[in-house]
Amino acid sequence: MKHYLFYCILFLGTSFSVSAQTINLEFPYFAGKTYDFTIFQGDKRITVKRDTVPEGGKVQLIIPEQYKGYKGIAQWYLTNSATGGGLDLIINNEDFSVSCFDSVPTAESIVYKNTTENLIDKATYKKQQQFFEKHDAMLATKRAYEKDSELYKLASTEYSSLLKQYEEHSKALSTSLLYAAKFRQIVNLTMGIGTLITVDEKAKAHNINDFIVTELDFAALYTSNHWGGVINNWVQLHTSVFKDDTKLLQDVTTILHRLPSDKIYTDFVVNLTKEISKIGKDYILDALTATIKNSRRLLHNDGVLKIYQLDLSGQAPDLSIVVNSGKKEATNPVVTVLKTTELHSKFTLLVFYRSGCGPCEETMEGLVLHYKEMVAKGFRIITIASDTDEKIFKDTSMPHPWADKYCDFKGAEGINFKNYGVIGTPTMYVLDSKGIIVSKMATLTNVLDFVKKL
């Protein structure tokens, strides 16, 4: 069974009118199949019902009281079918039904009732699909013929008309109050489609970015099952196309002020923090720390959010060094404290890494290669691994020429990783002779640039 999208929605009403949302399904050929019924909040998939399709194929799905008023995508999908299959449904306080009496459901054989939104969205999807078919055909014709030919002129006229039609289509989606319209915009984003059509990739990127920053409905995105994907693609757009950290910082700040609830705010910061850390731009997170802390909108400070609770703008935290480390032979390992005020070096490069991490391995190889140069500039290198296997740590750290190589075998939960708010590896700090944090870095290039400027 293929996946087909069926969108069901109700216009926004007052809170006291919201009742239990019920969907009646009838798929006789799926009797005996087990299924899950799920909804979405950010990256979280919530299973609200798990059952078996009874004889006759009639199933009733109800949004539980705790999710009363849920507005977004839901999925009903088979869990013990070799061919898989299921339905993507838009839910918005509307009771409706979906049925199919064929053994192999198709878009034509599946029937839904009591939901005007399904028909509207189906027409919108078909209209958009036809538009792109015409667009591609006219663009191909323009490219195939000389500019002075009649076919080129006719194709150009039609092409210009199509571009205007798409702009009107985009405006209609933007002004609609229906969730289906917002969902269509979100799906378009996942396909790299903005609110205008252009062959200029830079212009297309700016259009998509502008829409996300100033227009995208993040409440709709939160329940769309595309939350993490859209945020990830947006960060990658900045990284690969704009390459302007100032713009990224400004755009993030604009989005933060637009987020409609503390729950969405918190989950957005979680995803953003992970993605920016992946690309090695932790200094952007540092620049956002005051804004995020002062907003008082974070619902918790667990996981990656712990970095917004730390103040690493002055004296670096002391380091806890495990002396007789090793999980097996040391039940009570001896821990000493390496005071950052007593490092006795002009500069200290503190490196948090993990063996087997590609960027970490590249960083370590680079540090080995430039070790003598760094020592000549007054650097002391201290590396702290998040390894959990002692043999792996010893084997990988053995070639490193510096003396300060440490690991407590607690992974990213180690005390030093927590004290320095490390959420991704490699993460590096430069300390001055007094143990004051001078800079936070994520790449070897950053380190070498710092060294060259001395």
Query: What would the pLDDT profile of 401-434 be if each residue is shown by its tens digit?
Result: 999 999 999 988 889 988 888 877 898 999 999 9
pLDDT tens-digit readout, 4-16: 333 332 222 333 3
Q: Which of the listed ranges 22-36, 108-122, 331-345 does the model predict with the highest average pLDDT?
A: 22-36
Quick one: pLDDT at residue 328? 46
**pLDDT of 392 above 80:** yes
Q: Under a CB-based contact definition with an 8 Å cutoff, are residues 174 and 215 in contact?
A: yes
pLDDT tens-digit readout, 360-376: 999 999 999 999 999 99
Q: Under a CB-based contact definition with an 8 Å cutoff, are residues 220 and 183 in contact?
A: yes
How far is the first Cα of the chain from the last one, in angstroms, to the nearest whole number?
Answer: 65
Reference 35, options 44, 43, 23; nearest CA is 23
Quick one: pLDDT at residue 43? 96
Quick one: pLDDT at residue 31? 95
Question: What is the rounded average pLDDT of the residues 162-171?
Answer: 94
**pLDDT of 28 above 50:** yes
pLDDT tens-digit readout, 71-124: 999 999 999 877 778 898 989 888 999 999 999 998 889 888 998 776 777 778
**pLDDT of 182 above 90:** yes
Average pLDDT, the chain: 88
Widest pairwise Cα distance in the chain: 86
**pLDDT of 174 above 80:** yes
Quick one: pLDDT at residue 17? 41
Half-sphere exposure for 179 (CA within 13 Å, toward CB) = 28
Could you count the other beta carbons within 10 Å of the beta carbon of residue 65?
A: 7
Between 82-86, 130-134, 165-169, 433-437, the lowest mean confidence (pLDDT) is in 82-86
What are the structure tokens assigned to 218, written together? 């993040």
Top-confidence residue, 205 or 324: 205
The percent of residues in the chain predicted with pLDDT above 90, rounded, is 67
Quick one: pLDDT at residue 15? 33
Instruction: Please give, one letter per residue, the 3-state secondary structure of the chain.
Output: CCCEEEECCCCCCCHHHCCCCEEEEECHHHCCCEEEEEEEECCEEEEEEEEECCCCCEEEEECCHHHCCCEEEEEEEECCCCCCCEEEEEEECCCEEEECCCCCCCCCCCEEECCHHHHHHHHHHHHHHHHHHHHHHHHHHHHHCCCCCHHHHHHHHHHHHHHHHHHHHHHHHHHCCCHHHHHHHHHHHHCCCCCCCCCCHHHHHHHHHHHHHHCCCHHHHHCCCCHHHHHHHHHHHHHHHHCCHHHHHHHHHHHHHHCCCHHHHHHHHHHHHHHHHHCCCHHHHHHHHHHHHHHCCCCCCCHHHHHHHCCCCCECCCEEEECCCCCCCCCCCCEEEECHHHCCCCEEEEEEECCCCHHHHHHHHHHHHCHHHHHHCCEEEEEEECCCCHHHHHHHHCCCCCCEEEECCCHHHCHHHHHCCCCCCCEEEEEECCCEEEEEECCHHHHHHHHHHC
Quick one: pLDDT at residue 332? 67
Half-sphere exposure for 256 (CA within 13 Å, toward CB) = 24
Quick one: pLDDT at residue 294? 85
Question: What is the rounded average pLDDT of the residues 211-220?
Answer: 98
Between 56-70, 307-321, 385-399, the lowest mean confidence (pLDDT) is in 307-321
**pLDDT of 47 above 90:** yes
Question: What is the rounded average pLDDT of the residues 261-288?
Answer: 89
Quick one: pLDDT at residue 14? 31
The predicted model scores a pTM of 0.75
